[in-house]
Amino acid sequence: MTIDVFGHAASGGTTSARLDAFSRCNSVPFCDLLPHGAMWPRARDTNLAKLCSAMSIEIGRTDVQTRTMLAESYPDTAQQTLTHWETIAGLPDACDGELAATVSARQQDVVDVFTQDHVLNDAYWAALAGVYGYAAPTITKNSAFCTGINCTTDPLCSLESLLTVTFTFVSGANDVLLECKIRKFWPEWTTLLVIFT
């Protein structure tokens, strides 16, 4: 617990200081842990009491820092280490180019990177399109010629054509951003064509 103390300086301005009342209150319980007897006086003006007070302040600081470190170990509560979390998550990415405006939004962006499901199926691409205000794309995938399924007049696809997937969207306000987001997660061993009509 901290207490803000305000006062007026001789120059007429207002000054403020922050006292850590939690650490000060720890000095008496800390002294109580020591042995009892004539060699261990508890009076406030003794050196032992002053030593207890000084040590309890440091213990209070350590306690506060421990709680801070615990908060910093999770990206949704990190503040001091938020930039490190963003670096690990690859933020800002090449598509957005900049970080969010607020700390809470930046924390949420990191959490989103670590928790989003990158199962590259049609439902994932439809959900990603929905985030940017687009309807689900029409996805065209070439398939190999199969006896008993294809007709003799069907074309034979080359290996390059088999590894090509076409996404067709109705054009909107974020065409470039959406295409960038799709390509960010698209596997390199296949060719992706993104068409906005």
With 0-12 CB in 10 A as exposed, 13-18 as middle and 19+ as buried, what is 3? Answer: exposed
Residues contacting 101, CB < 8 A, separation 6+:
none
| Helix (H), strand (E) at residue 34 | none
Judged against a pLDDT cut of 60, whether residue 147 lies above it is answered with: yes
Domain co-membership, 109 together with 126 = no
pTM: 0.55
**Are 125 and 148 in the same domain?**
yes
Domain that holds residue 94: 74-116
123 and 194 in a common domain = yes
pLDDT score, position 38? 86
Q: Choose the final residue of a domain: 14, 42, 72.
A: 72
Distance of alpha carbon 95 from alpha carbon 111, whole angstroms: 18
Instruction: With cut-offs at 50, 70 and 90, classify the pLDDT of residue 114.
Output: confident
In this predicted model, what pLDDT tens digit does every residue of 52-90 receive, in sequence order? Answer: 888 888 888 888 889 899 999 999 999 999 999 999 988
Q: Do 138 and 189 belong together in one domain?
A: yes
135-144 pLDDT, tens digit per residue, is 999 998 876 6
Domain end (from 15, 44, 72): 72
Report the alpha-carbon distance of residue 37 to residue 55 in Å, rounded.
20
Report the mean per-residue pLDDT for the chain.
80
End of a domain among 41, 57, 72?
72
Report pLDDT digits (tens) over 168-178.
Answer: 999 988 899 99
Q: Does the pLDDT value for residue 19 go beyond 60?
A: no
111 & 125 share domain: no
Task: Flag whether pLDDT at 3 surpasses 60.
Answer: no
Q: What does the pLDDT read at residue 21? A: 47
Query: The tokens of 28 are what?
Result: 């008496």
Of 124, 140, 119, 131, residue with least CA distance to 197: 140
Quote the pLDDT of residue 145. Answer: 64
112 and 123 part of one domain: no
What number is the average pLDDT over the span 77-105?
90
Bridge partners of 4, per DSSP, are: 18
Residues 91 and 147 in one domain: no
DSSP-derived secondary structure letter, 147: B
What whole-number distance in Å separates Cα of residue 42 and Cα of residue 28? 9
Name the domain count of the chain. Answer: 3
Q: Are residues 14 and 78 in the same domain?
A: no
